Amino acid sequence: MFIVRLASFFYLQNRSKAIFYHDIHSLKQYTFDSTPIEKFKKHIEIIRSNGYEIVKEITKPFGQVEISFDDGYLGIYDNIEVIKELNIPIQLFVVSSFLNKDNYINKNQLIFLNTLPQIRISSHTHSHKILTKMDSEDLKFELFKSKKKLEKILNCKINAISFPFGRFNKNVIEESKKIGYTKQYIGMPGFYNKITDFKRRSLIHYLANEKEFKAILKGGDHVLSFWYQMKHSIL
């Protein structure tokens, strides 16, 4: 992570940025890549002390941070009072076929979370498969099934999606638009850019210390973007 911290020094302004986690935990941990609740609280403190506003959705090029969680683990439900106390908006990307499975929220918990002003529910596909490896019909099913299932349960429109493993290409973007998703999120570092068809997000690793978190917030992890694009052959 040294290179990330070093690269962060090249970004002096508070550019708006989306970050994401997989889960948070206090007592019970549901996945290995869950962030301890006290560390998460410290992250929120760092965001605010550096002059950022935590928002439901980024609308400005500077000074805003958007936070989301992928997969739909139970930790968010268990620690919802902490989210309320911190008074932060959270977007929860849910894998629709994971509902009611061990370690994941169930249908009733999803409905409850959707009633809270702090929580916004979105899609993380139906079964969390690599979309770029699917044929046309399977891809359409993954995108459509999740959207319609969540909309039926929650009785509201689901307009945003994050792509599993961060894997996507132009075809995935276009198909998701046809299905009715107006906002596409990816797990690749980058600042807010209203021109692109997708929204970049930086993963906050569960082992990241305070210095590493600050570096990511300032854009230090962007040095990894080229490696990411080459590895996954995207864009």
- CATH code for position 29: 3.20.20.370
- Per-residue pLDDT of 128-138, as tens digits, reads 999 999 999 99
User: What is the number of structural domains in the chain?
Assistant: 1
pLDDT score at 5 = 43
- The two structure tokens encoding residue 68: 């989301």
Say how far apart CA 74 and CA 123 lie, in whole Å. Answer: 16
What was the pLDDT predicted at 224?
Answer: 56
CB within 8 Å of 62: residues ≥ 6 apart: 13, 14, 15, 16
Q: Which residues contact 79 (CB under 8 A, 6 or more apart)?
A: 24, 25, 26, 37
Q: Which pLDDT score, from 0 to 100, does residue 221 have?
A: 78
Contact by Cβ (8 Å): 228, 187:
no
In the numeric block, the tokens 């941990």 are attached to 29
Does position 143 have pLDDT exceeding 90, yes or no?
yes
**Whole-prediction pTM value?**
0.90
Q: What's the DSSP call for residue 16?
A: -
In angstroms, the CA 147 to CA 34 distance is 26
Q: Greatest CA span in the chain, whole angstroms?
A: 47
Q: 139 lies in which domain range? A: 2-232
User: For the CA atoms of 71, 177, 204, 127, what is the dihedral angle to 10 degrees?
Assistant: 20
